[in-house]
Amino acid sequence: MAKKKVGKKSKFIFVVGGVMSGVGKGIAASSIGKILQARGLTVTALKIDPYINVDAGTMNPTEHGEVFVLQDGYETDQDMGNYERFMGLHLDRGNYMTTGSVYKSVIDRERNLEYGGQCVQVVPHIPREVISRIRAAAKKADADVTIIEIGGTVGEYENILFLEAVRTMKIEHPEDVLTVIVSYVPTPSKVGEMKTKPTQHAVRTLNGTGVQPDIIIARADRPLDEKRKEKVATFCSVRKEDVISAPDIESIYEVPLNFEKDALSDIIIKKLGLRAKARNIGEWAALVARSKAAKKPVRIAVVGKYFHSGEYVLSDVYISVLEAIKHAAFAAGSRPEICWLDSAEYEKSPEKVKELSSFDGVLIPGGFGSRGIEGKISAIRFCRENRIPYFGLCYGMQLLVIEYARNVLGLKGANTLEIDPKSKHLVIDIMPEQKDKLKKKDYGGSMRLGGYTAVVVPKTIAAAAYGVSEIVERHRHRYEVNPEYVERLRKGGLVFSATSPDGILMEIAELPVKEHPFFLGTQFHPEFQSSLAAPHPLFLAFIKAAIKRGA
Ligand code: GLN
């Protein structure tokens, strides 16, 4: 009889935040994964978000940052993108949960009488559900180490039940569970001295939930000196070696290398009793060195609308786009200079669009709704007429088609149903299966989502970039190029260089190189599958065209 394969027993590292949000917990979790991989260990990662939304798909990006789409179509937090990019993983819905999704499963199960008449309670049933999901993800990946990042900061009412899951797991298997707190150590300008008190308070708050951190990652604008490390260690009950200094650095990709300066992988491996190989981080270090060596600037304008939250510019909304531009630029030996431009400005003052001449390339990312759309269309027209490399992602592709229909084919008022249902020329229309969903107000998780295969047409920019005839790319859209206009657009000179395998959905639109150096849009989101080690081929082609213009 064949022996049943027994999977590995995973160890678990919880990453929680202290003092304040936004200090790079996601990057810390991703970097821990990276340095453990470099020791020959298999890792997987989960993100827990404490909000009630069942997934991230229904949130306005200015509320929450980018919605990162997984291969299986789940709409998640941008940190999932960091995990995939750093660790080279393909994660799925089992790697992401929100309070809403956890409660939903428990309630659905209760309605199906699956609790056998028990009183279903917040404790223990909610933490139990969280733990069973964590264990399932670890098992599926057959991981040596499973990293779980808990969103928010300790002390928030919202994440207490997740910390309860940490406490429970630690009691049950103390040798298998580590807790890392990523905290902040400020140096107030008027005081001029690094202050550890906020971190001490954060750790006490964590202690109040029954959890003691094993490792403290101290984020600060500078490295921690020995004295500060000692202080944190003494007051937070950890060894001095377990206080890891994480100063601000230029590139997020340097974080794993920095962690290793304090021998973090050794500390983790020892604490968890893991058997690991010698450190092999050379390949990553070489990629980081390449990115630092890239000096010649390539100037890219990103024309969008979700930039402003009060006084702040939120480039988080397009984090994967930003990273994909960087990956491609570094690979091509250039340093990207990215400028965020608000398309609404071109509606207020149409002349302003001329500023695009000063850029080497223009990119319009995905989006929804009507604000700033006419401004984006003017930007696309300007790029087409002035041979400025243009790359449109999702909405950026649909608007490329609208612009072409209006200004080249002369279809007056051409538009998308999303904006102008009364348009005489709906060159972008709703997908038939989407109509019912909207009628039923079924908005959450109901777009065309995740990885779908597309067939690439030979002898096009897309074909030259990909070098293969079939691709799988991630989607997130409700509207598409109206099949009734495809022939007319083709006859008018627009090339659809990739389609769904049945030829019905247009996946890439472009102009032939002899007419324009790079004028291309994708119905999908290539940015979700780019990494430092493997830049996305279309981003690379776009950046190369931009570099050529700048030369
Ligand atoms: N709003 C468009 C659609 O739903 C484009 C979506 C996007 O850019 N992600 O089809």
Question: What is the chain's pLDDT, residue by residue, as a tens digit (551 residues)?
Answer: 555 566 678 999 999 999 888 889 999 999 999 999 999 999 999 999 999 999 988 888 777 789 999 999 999 999 999 999 999 999 999 999 999 999 999 999 999 999 999 999 999 999 999 999 999 999 999 999 999 999 999 999 999 999 999 999 999 999 999 999 999 999 998 888 899 999 999 999 999 999 999 999 999 999 999 999 999 999 999 999 999 999 998 899 999 999 999 999 999 999 999 999 999 999 999 999 999 998 999 999 999 876 654 545 556 788 999 999 999 999 999 999 999 999 999 999 999 999 999 999 999 999 999 889 999 999 999 999 999 999 999 999 999 999 999 999 999 999 999 999 999 999 999 988 888 887 788 877 888 999 999 999 999 999 999 999 999 999 999 999 999 999 999 999 999 999 999 999 999 999 999 999 999 999 999 999 999 999 999 999 999 999 999 88
The pLDDT assigned to 5 comes to 60
The pLDDT assigned to 313 comes to 54
Is the CB of residue 365 below 6 angstroms from any atom belonging to ligand 1? no
* Closest CA to ligand 1's atom 8: 366
**396: CA distance to ligand 1 center in Å?**
9
The pLDDT assigned to 4 comes to 57
The atom of ligand 1 lying closest to the CA of 365 is 8
Is the CB of residue 235 below 6 angstroms from any atom belonging to ligand 1? no
* Closest CA to ligand 1's atom 1: 368
Last residue of a domain, one of 242, 263, 286: 286
Q: Could you give the CA distance from residue 435 to residue 10 in angstroms, rounded to a whole number?
A: 44
Q: Among 477, 507, 525, name the best residue to mutate to test ligand 1's pocket (greatest count of ligand atoms within 8 A of Cβ).
A: 477
Is the CB of residue 242 below 6 angstroms from any atom belonging to ligand 1? no
Q: Where are the beta strands (DSSP E) in 378-422?
A: 390-393, 415-416
Do 188 and 281 belong to one domain? yes
Do 278 and 356 belong to one domain? no
The pLDDT assigned to 6 comes to 63
Is the CB of residue 24 below 6 angstroms from any atom belonging to ligand 1? no
Last residue of a domain, one of 250, 267, 286: 286
**398: CA distance to ligand 1 center in Å?**
8
* Closest CA to ligand 1's atom 3: 477
The pLDDT assigned to 223 comes to 93
Phi then psi dihedrals of residue 533, to 5 deg: -75, -30
Is the CB of residue 256 below 6 angstroms from any atom belonging to ligand 1? no
Last residue of a domain, one of 260, 286, 312: 286
Total domains present in the chain: 2
Do 279 and 204 belong to one domain? yes
Q: What is the dihedral of CA 252, 256, 261, 267, to 10 degrees?
A: 140
**60: CA distance to ligand 1 center in Å?**
13
Q: Which of 475, 516, 525, 536 is catalytic?
A: 525
Do 63 and 151 belong to one domain? yes
Is the CB of residue 14 below 6 angstroms from any atom belonging to ligand 1? no
In a domain, 472, yes or no: no
In a domain, 203, yes or no: yes
Give the pair of three-digit tokens for residue 57: 């798909």
CB 46, CB 300: distance < 8 Å: no
Do 48 and 122 belong to one domain? yes
Q: Could you give the CA distance from residue 535 to residue 332 in angstroms, rounded to a whole number?
A: 10
The pLDDT assigned to 61 comes to 76
**107: CA distance to ligand 1 center in Å?**
32
In a domain, 473, yes or no: no
In a domain, 96, yes or no: yes
Do 300 and 276 belong to one domain? no
By the 10 Å C-beta count (0-12 exposed, 13-18 middle, 19+ buried), 175 is classed as exposed
- Boundaries of domain holding 349: 295-430+482-497+507-550
Do 274 and 330 belong to one domain? no
In the chain, the N- to C-terminal Cα span, in Å, equals 67
In a domain, 435, yes or no: no
CB 372, CB 366: distance < 8 Å: no
Asked if 308 is an active-site residue, the reply is no
CB 79, CB 128: distance < 8 Å: no
CATH number of the domain encompassing residue 344: 3.40.50.880
In a domain, 169, yes or no: yes
Q: Which of 323, 347, 394, 516 is catalytic?
A: 394
Do 133 and 156 belong to one domain? yes
Do 183 and 237 belong to one domain? yes
The pLDDT assigned to 441 comes to 80
CATH number of the domain encompassing residue 205: 3.40.50.300
The atom of ligand 1 lying closest to the CA of 368 is 1
Is the CB of residue 75 below 6 angstroms from any atom belonging to ligand 1? no
Asked if 525 is an active-site residue, the reply is yes
**71: CA distance to ligand 1 center in Å?**
17
Our measurement of the distance from residue 385's CA atom to the centroid of its chain's CA atoms, rounded to an integer in Å, reads: 33
The whole-model pTM stands at 0.94
Identify the three-state secondary structure at position 273. coil
Q: Which of 137, 30, 148 is nearest to 87 (CA)?
A: 30
Do 224 and 351 belong to one domain? no
**430: CA distance to ligand 1 center in Å?**
10
Do 276 and 409 belong to one domain? no
The pLDDT assigned to 388 comes to 98
Do 144 and 205 belong to one domain? yes
In a domain, 196, yes or no: yes
In order of 102, 186, 353, 386, 491, the CA distances from 357 in angstroms are 50, 42, 8, 8, 29
**479: CA distance to ligand 1 center in Å?**
6
Tell me how long the chain is.
Answer: 551
In a domain, 100, yes or no: yes
